[in-house]
Structure 1
């Protein structure tokens, strides 16, 4: 028994005329008759009564039609569901995101993507940027949002990266600090300060080291922690200074903490990164195109300072 035979049965039961049924099924009347006869022989029961003038369902045929309708309907539904996977409208996406994900406005975009693709299930894995490379290259996640693509990308894997948002590194100090009233400084002016930073395994730690080395000194670290709030809190208590990204601190900067730009400027760029594949999954392709199109439309490749130099 074949699906096509069930559809032929339904069409003939609808018209009770071989010529009209054959026209709808796009076959010849003789081919339609042969398929019905083949099905009847397989089942061992007559489904239609045929005369030279009419065609009628038998009792067995009528019951068969009821079952055939259900089967064809379910198969149609299955095909519809599977088609969503083929065109990337259903399935699972595993997303690796850095801790600063929300600060870059990505959670709002994720919500918009979910609204456009309600049948796609999103699964999040938050980790440091360096760890996200491992997860991405090992196939544990489909996409990663990274701020360290150019510096730390593994050469043995072929990756594709699309920049989304730029962010400027800044210095934060307690407002009682001698530099607190300055809008911009040379980074070398803080060469004797004690820095508070993320742990040595973090990309922020590496950014701080690189920026300071570029200005001719090695930073002295007094405290290391895993959380932005802890760093900001320690700075607020006058226990040191810190280098953080503007978007990470601008929304929750305490009143007794000042934000200072420095030269030479250091920019962190949030990028969306994929493992390059000859035939990417349609669902991943839809995700990629959504963010690329958003980036082109919004042009957020700059740090959020106004013309006066204020955040």
Structure 2
């Protein structure tokens, strides 16, 4: 039994298809099938039930795949140990970022990180929180940046910063004259929200203590971008909430419509998250240090109240 053979087993377990697994492993399908057959012959059991479409793991196959993941991870850790000993920071690093953080945070740190660590090939994906958790748990991401706490047993969280919510109140609204607002001032029936699936939406609804399946009193309008929400608010269709970093890029006329909350300000916790058994800890530390260095000056809020990004049950 070899590490390469275990890689093949994991590929088939993931894709449930020998041909696709072979493509992902850059080998021919007969080669991959033969190597998996060798493992099954050696163990005297069937790992896959080939009679089903798509291919399914047998009961013993599920246990074998679980152990194979541990073995492959520990084998990969050897190279990680060597890299850390040599002080080498390089190689591929797969990073996921949620959509409400990507546009504002990524431009702040990416150039600095690339210049400081030119040997790192940073592969970045914009993903919602649910997809990030799935990909972290299945080894398709090395780390991610998301709103926390997530309370995921297998995922570690390192807080990067706290980002307050800021209300966008158009001039025609009765709260426009206020210098600061309170949570009680929010009317969830007039709040313009991001589409379902965004954790920022769930945070706003949790802040308002309103469940996602409640009915609106007049109309329901959801968008996939903050820019659209701002334009709709200006058209008299309601108000909205924005993450603080997003407000820094607004034009001066729009910034005049922003209203901060009284302290403690409701805020989201933004963290660098990664599997507890992650191999590339030196790369994670490099990323954390870079991001912390650039956001320290932009985020100066301390007296905040963290709002959960998890949907209310």
Shared fold per TM-score greater than 0.5 = yes
2:198 matched residue in structure 1? 202
Q: Deviations over 1:146-199 (max 9, x none)?
A: 11x21x3433x2x22111122101211211212112121222223375111011
Would you say how many aligned residue pairs link Structure 1 and Structure 2? 213
Secondary structure at 1:112 match in 2: helix
Deviation at 1:254, TM superposition (A): 6.6
1:140 matched residue in structure 2? 140
RMSD: 3.1
Larger Rg: 1 or 2?
Answer: 1
Deviation at 1:212, TM superposition (A): 0.8
Q: Which runs of no fewer than 5 residues in structure 2 stay unpaired?
A: 1-81, 303-313
Secondary structure at 2:115 match in 1: helix
Deviation at 1:210, TM superposition (A): 0.9
1:26 matched residue in structure 2? none
8 A Cα contact 1:144 1:272, kept in partner: yes
1:57 matched residue in structure 2? none
Matches within 5 A, 1:48-197: 87-102=87-102, 104-147=104-147, 149-150=148-149, 152-155=150-153, 157=154, 159-191=155-187, 193-197=189-193
Task: With the length of structure 1 as denominator, give the TM-score of the two structures.
Answer: 0.60
Secondary structure at 1:174 match in 2: coil
Secondary structure at 1:182 match in 2: coil
Pairing partner for 2:281 from 285, 292, 298: 285
Distance (Å, rounded) in 2 between the aligned partners of 1:286 and 1:111: 19
8 A Cα contact 2:191 2:240, kept in partner: yes
Deviation at 1:241, TM superposition (A): 0.8
Distance (Å, rounded) in 1 between the aligned partners of 2:102 and 2:295: 18
Secondary structure at 1:255 match in 2: helix
Q: Which runs of no fewer than 5 residues in structure 1 stay unpaired?
A: 1-82, 307-311
Deviation at 1:265, TM superposition (A): 2.4
Q: Deviations over 1:196-247 (max 9, x none)?
A: 1011221111111111118xxx794731111111111111211111122121
Distance (Å, rounded) in 2 between the aligned partners of 1:304 and 1:237: 32
Deviation at 1:87, TM superposition (A): 4.7
Pairing partner for 2:253 from 242, 252, 255: 255
